[in-house]
Amino acid sequence: MSQDGSAPTGAETDKKDAQLAHHRENAGEAYLTTDQGIRVSNTDNSLKLGERGPTLLEDFHFREKITRFDHERIPERVVHARGSAAHGYFQVYESLADLTRAKFLQDPSRKTPVFLRFSTVAGSRGSADTVRDVRGFAVKFYTDEGNFDLVGNNIPVFFIQDGIKFPDVIHAAKPEPDHEMPQAGTAHDSFWDFASLQTETTHMLMWAMSDRAIPRSYRMMEGFGVHTFRLVNAHGRSRFVKFHWKPLLGVHSLVWDEAQKLAGKDSDFHRRDLWEAIEKGNFPEWELGLQIVEEEDAEKLNFDLLDATKLIPEELVPVRRVGKLTLNRNPDNFFAETEQVAFCVSNLVPGIDVTDDPLMQARLFSYLDTQITRLGGPNFAQIPINKPVAPVDNHQQDGFHQHRIPTRKANYTPNSIGGGCPHLANLANGGYVHYPERVEGEKIRKRAETFADHFSQARLFWVSMSAPEKEHIVKAFRFELGKVEREEIRQRMIVNLTEVDAQLAKLVADGIGVDVQTALKTVGRRPGKPAVAGSSTSPSLSMENTLKTSVKTRKVAALVADGVSEGELKDVKTALESAGATVEVIGPRLGKLKSAEGGAVPVTMALPTTASVMFDAVFIPGGKASVEALLKDGSAIHFVLEAFKHHKTVGATGEGVDMLRAVPFPAVTLADAKGGQGAVVDQGVVTSQGAPDLVAFAGAFIQALAQHRHWDRPGAEAVPA
């Protein structure tokens, strides 16, 4: 039994699945019927008056079929419309009873079922995955005490401090109201107009312009609860907490040029990546992290814990890793599960409570409210994916799509007719009792003074970045602001950036036709806020310091043609696959190629259907004829150059190295043409020529691939691909 004695240990992971099983339908061999169960004899021709005559109104099958089709769509989410989700489970490492009375955080043997939906924010349902945007990271825990939803993002802070500004920031970010452009991106006037006027956005803008906003994969993103929550233990002791999700594959990103190309080449890039990883059994994992702040220590911080534009540096309050979430099952049906799932910040279980963060307070209202429209009425908690595994019993009734048939005679509290049922639960019986925080004050529309600093943490972020990360941020600002037509908006943004860092402002200004001094004069420096000094850093903010130890689930393209060296291909492929990477053999067409050894090499992807942006690395095995054929194919040459441009690992063995030598490949030291032992590695380009040393090559290639990207590659910029 688990600690609360309510359920057998370890069995909880199946509870949600078992519940969903009741709703799954696949009758197999069966007759086609109408919604009323009447067997249909013909679904290809409507009922007409004569073969060429008009369709008859009495054709109930035709009318039902068309009517149902007409009503297939529901409103998409007003934000976070584009998303992908998966099922899994969460398990705590050790009891957190000292911190919280939430049962699912107390029993290490308990596997709590979860459903996790990732999303972009601004784009509509059909928009591209790889746009520059914040990513949603929403987790629903189906606990025995009811649903707990941790509705977070992949960025630990938010654009605004008070939820009343949410419609403004979203209206500004979404496509403009007259022409609905641009789709899913913020590189337009209205967003930067708002951002430049609302300086509290600055910290989040730094994150949004960083590589965090173009993740390599949902599986390689951090997640954050953003707000300060409370954990309350059985003695009623409350502590502040920030929630983190740490991906076990590390935090990695795309390159902006790559992200833009992917939006066309594979607009489902992240969705496909998640789906395929789970189908292959490469289950994504995150550790849940907690930053705990004792109530009495909150005052000691130099920012307000209730301000969602601030984070707690991990160097100040370390993240304690307390459990692991694993995604292990794709949904059966996108609409029924991923589209209909409804997360809500106010879905809380005993032991987890909220704070007075004014952003959070607005969210406590908004989610349920929006879902009443989106899901067609107030009964959406009965939709299978939303249904708790904990028993539900109350006097809420009626409304659209009521599925339950209540048989109680008394539908009110208190009652005697129904034996007083259902009963109220006190603390001991698992009742949710709000933390009795003491508050007093005047009713007032005012931002707290403690929320006034808009730049210190933006600066902390900037100074904590590595040189390549800084360069990417500058380029992202130049790209976004470069698309802003109104000069005064660009000027205002530059003035704001001077408050973050003078060098940052100058570098961005130089790229967008703004002179910093003129901008300062025209706009007038904001009163009371001189440029923030200070150079303390928070290394945990930099993706440079993430895990770079594994090549698990990394995708490698092996470029081949007829005459490829089967031995080189096979040995390297086997080595990569045993290290956990995936290798696609990419040839000029599907089918089988003839190898140099005379064997048949199956092609898994045809070159015209793919592109280097869909891979983490490229490998060119030897085989004279194969390399000669590749050198005659512009798209093969482009493939290799583009991978180099995007700082990816490029490898070649035997005559494969000749390809790198023959194309306008930037100055990189390659293996000696005369051949020799071992592998040569320069800027992430791995080569072994002549009779290649495949063991040394594979080892070096794997090591290079684990680095994710080779940012220190001076020639990359010069590649025209």
Measured between alpha carbons, how far is 484 from 108 in angstroms, rounded to an integer? 52
Query: What are the structure tokens assigned to 683, written together?
Result: 């800027």
C-beta of residue 57 within 8 angstroms of C-beta of residue 46: no
Give the Cα separation of 100 and 190 in Å (integer): 44
Question: Does residue 80 belong to the site contacting ligand HDE (CB under 6 A)?
Answer: yes
Letters for 203-242 (x = contact with ligand HDE by CB under 6 A, - = none) are: -----------------------x----------------
d(CA 455, CA 447): 16
- CB-nearer residue toward ligand HDE: 328 or 370: 370
Q: Does residue 80 carry a catalytic annotation?
A: yes
Q: Which H helix or E strand runs over 245? A: strand 238-247
The answer to whether 151 contacts ligand HDE (rule: CB under 6 A) is: yes
For residues 83 and 621, which CB has a smaller minimum distance to ligand HDE in the complex?
Answer: 83
- Which residues neighbour 565 within 8 Å (Cβ) at sequence distance 6 or greater? 595, 596, 597, 621, 622, 623, 626, 653, 654, 655
Q: What is the largest CA-CA distance in the chain?
A: 95
Phi, psi of 192, rounded to the nearest 5 degrees: -75, -25
**Is residue 77 a known part of a binding site?**
yes
Q: Does 363 bind ligand HDE (CB under 6 A)?
A: yes
Start-to-end CA distance of the chain, whole Å, equals 61
Smaller CB separation from ligand HDE, 217 or 371: 371
79 counts as binding ligand HDE under rule CB under 6 A: yes
Look at the block and give the residue holding tokens 């495949």.
Answer: 694
Q: Binding residue for ligand HDE (CB under 6 A) from 88, 136, 621, 623?
A: 136
- Rank residues 150 and 579 by Cβ distance to ligand HDE and give the closer one: 150
697 binds ligand HDE (CB under 6 A): no
Active site residue 22: no
Question: Which three-class secondary structure string do you get for 1-33?
Answer: CCCCCCCCCCCCHHHHHHHHHCCCCCCCCCCCE
Q: Which of 15, 117, 216, 470 binds ligand HDE (CB under 6 A)?
A: 117
Q: CB of 229: closest distance to ligand HDE in angstroms?
A: 11
Q: Does 286 bind ligand HDE (CB under 6 A)?
A: no
Side chain identity at 532, as an amino acid letter? V
Q: How far is CA 506 from the centre of its chain?
A: 32
Q: Tell me: is residue 589 an annotated ligand-binding position.
A: no
CA-wise closest residue to 671 among 650, 698, 659, 653: 653
Map the footprint of ligand HDE across residues 556-585, applying CB under 6 A: none
Cβ 119 to ligand HDE, closest distance in Å?
Answer: 5
> Which regions of 94-237 does DSSP assign to beta strands (E)?
112-120, 135-143, 146-153, 223-224, 229-232
- Residue closer to ligand HDE (CB basis): 119 or 612: 119
Per rule CB under 6 A, count of chain residues that contact ligand HDE: 25
The interface region with ligand HDE, picked from 28-36, 319-327, 362-370, 639-647 by CB under 6 A, is 362-370
- Complex with ligand HDE: residue 80 or 110, whichever CB lies closer: 80
Cα–Cα dist 573/620, whole Å: 11
Contact region for ligand HDE (CB under 6 A) — 72-80, 266-274, 584-592, 680-688? Answer: 72-80
Instruction: Considering the complex, state which of residue 121 and residue 569 has its C-beta at the smaller distance from ligand HDE.
Output: 121
Question: Has 117 been labeled as part of a binding site?
Answer: yes
Active-site position among 61, 147, 153, 227: 153
Q: Which residues pair with 592 in a beta bridge?
A: 602
Q: Token pair 């482009």 is at which residue? A: 638
| Angle at the Cα of 700 from the Cα atoms of 696 and 703, rounded to 5 degrees | 145
- Selected from 366, 565, 612, 688, the binder of ligand HDE by CB under 6 A is 366
**Where is the binding site for heme, in residues?**
77, 117, 166, 363, 367, 374
Active-site residue list? 80, 153
> What residue ranges bind ligand HDE (CB under 6 A)?
77-80, 83, 117, 119, 136, 138, 151-153, 158, 163, 166, 226, 342-343, 359, 362-363, 366-367, 370-371
